[in-house]
Amino acid sequence: MKRLVIVLVASTGMLAGCETNPTTGRSQFNALSRQQELQIGAEAAPQLVSEMGGEVADPALQAYVNEVGQRLVAHTEGDGPQRQWDFTLLDSDVINAFALPGEKVFFSRGLAEKLDNEAQMAAVLGHEVGHVMARHVNDRVAQQLGVGLAGALAGVVLGGATDNNAVKQVAPIAFGVGGQLVLLRYGRGQETEADALGMRYMARAGYDPVGALGVMQVLAEASDGRSGPEMLATHPYPETRIQNIRRLLQSEYASTQGNPNFQVHAERYQQRFLSRLALLPRPERDELALALAALGPSHTWCAHCAAERAAR
């Protein structure tokens, strides 16, 4: 009976740590505190930036990416607009973008050069902002903790565990901070949700959400058909995400199509960004960049999955 009480107390504690996310409307277990999220982002960012070619050494280009990003976060929920967001353009040919907790968003030169307009850039950045606002990293950590804790509690109930070592040694949180790459992967549902949130933010900022469709078409073309059965994949393929985005464009965002209030800003993207970027020397590709490139373009825009596959 005493062991059963321990289980009930632990379960009650997890429920008490839940709160409703204003972005998704879902109740989330707080596996990470706000301070922990900030610390993870601060510790992981320098190594990731270094491994991904460093920052593009052009203040005007960095300012442009930040400008687009800030337009999006101004329309996020809760305290999102008041957070200290960082948007960084990486000097890497690898087609990629990713976000870390603590409002740190990264966008590769390789992906930026594949895009045609500012709305597409907004779709990429909005997708990553969506990951942060939906607290997808927190959810993945909670899943890891849940698996480990469930096993530990089951052992207690069955009398197979006599101490709390199993609880202390729950499934490792897939972060390697302090000199290692982030290996945490997003799931298919999280990627689909981030797509939808990105469209939400870009439409609120006056961008034509069709830009999200353009990005996925770029990724589909770059994938060159290299894909296995979708049921075995961690993330939805570009083709599936294209279908989801098209459904949203035909329903929730139907009023934005052909509407002059929603623009793609192709000329501005060419003049302020692509033309200036073309003047810079090509980035040097280190061993990690070559390994990532050999994997093919990231279907998920996150470094986590690509880094894990490269490490295998």
Nearest Cα to Cα of residue 190 among 238, 144, 234:
234
Residue 27 backbone dihedrals phi, psi, to 5 degrees: -80, 130
Token duo for residue 306 = 């690509």
Q: Give the best-scoring range by mean pLDDT among 15-19, 151-155, 292-296, 303-307.
A: 15-19
How far, in Å, CA of 201 to CA of 85, rounded? Answer: 15
Q: What is the arrangement of strands in the sheet containing 97-100, beginning at the earlier edge strand?
A: 86-90, 104-108, 97-100
What's the pLDDT tens digit per position in 39-61?
888 988 998 899 889 999 999 99
Neighbours of 298 (CB within 10 A): 26
pLDDT of residue 235: 63
Cut 0.85: pTM above it: no
Q: Where are the domains of the chain?
A: 2-29+138-168, 34-134+177-311
What's the pLDDT tens digit per position in 129-144?
999 999 998 888 777 6
- Please report, as a single letter, which amino acid is at residue 154: A
Token duo for residue 304 = 């986590």
> Virtual CA dihedral for 157, 159, 164, 169, nearest 10 degrees?
-80
Those residues with Cβ within 8 angstroms of residue 296's Cβ, 6 or more apart along the chain or in another chain: 222, 223, 224, 226
